[in-house]
């Protein structure tokens, strides 16, 4: 058995980036995502977000893929959200997501960034953050026709 520790910062949004994740609902959803992940052997180091998005720091285990983890986290949580009627209308996550590797040397910085999402978004909109993410990590190549 190999020893694997690959940190990944995941970001995903509500469908159409609707700002519907109020503080109370967010914490309930994050608690459920964490519990579900634990049952499925997914290690979530930190999870937080804001009105329309979620940030999650995970340690990718041996035999795990980002696609499979995202399918398990997003798919199961949207099913749970709808089953528990947390919203009046059907809830969905946006299909797309970001996933970037995180160096061991900056894990604490990423944790703090995720931890302080509410404060962070008092100064910067998610739209601006999204655009910065695209440029900073070179995703703009995927968006240029």
107: CATH: 3.30.70.1290
Asked whether residue 145 is assigned to any structural domain, the reply reads no
Closest alpha carbon to 113 in 98, 97, 92, 129: 129
In this prediction the pTM is: 0.86
Evaluate whether residue 129 is within a structural domain: no
Nearest to 90 by CA among 99, 98, 81: 81
Name the domain count of the chain: 1
Residue with tokens 């469908």: 15
pLDDT digits (tens, 9 = 90+) for 45-61: 999 999 999 999 999 98
Residue 13 structural domain:
6-119
Helix (H, G, I), strand (E, B) or coil at 126: helix
Residue 124 in domain: no
Would you say residue 50 lies in a domain?
A: yes
Residue-wise pLDDT tens digits, 95-138: 999 999 999 999 999 999 999 888 877 777 777 777 777 777 77
Whether residue 43 lies inside any domain: the answer is: yes
Dig out the tokens for 68 from the structure: 């499979």
């Amino acid at each position: 058995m190999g020893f694997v520790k690959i940190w990944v910062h995941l970001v995903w949004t509500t469908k159409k980036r609707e700002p519907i994740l109020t503080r109370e609902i967010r914490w309930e959803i994050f608690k459920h995502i964490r519990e579900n992940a634990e049952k499925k052997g997914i290690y979530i180091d930190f999870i937080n977000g804001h009105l329309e998005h979620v940030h999650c720091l995970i340690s990718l285990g041996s035999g795990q893929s980002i696609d499979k983890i995202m399918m398990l986290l997003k798919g199961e949580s949207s099913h749970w959200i709808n089953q528990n009627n947390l919203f009046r209308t059907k809830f969905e996550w946006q299909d797309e997501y970001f996933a970037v590797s995180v160096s061991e040397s900056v894990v604490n910085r990423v944790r703090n960034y995720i931890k302080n999402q509410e404060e962070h978004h008092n100064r910067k909109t998610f739209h601006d953050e999204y655009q910065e993410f695209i440029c900073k990590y070179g995703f703009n190549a995927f968006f240029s026709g």
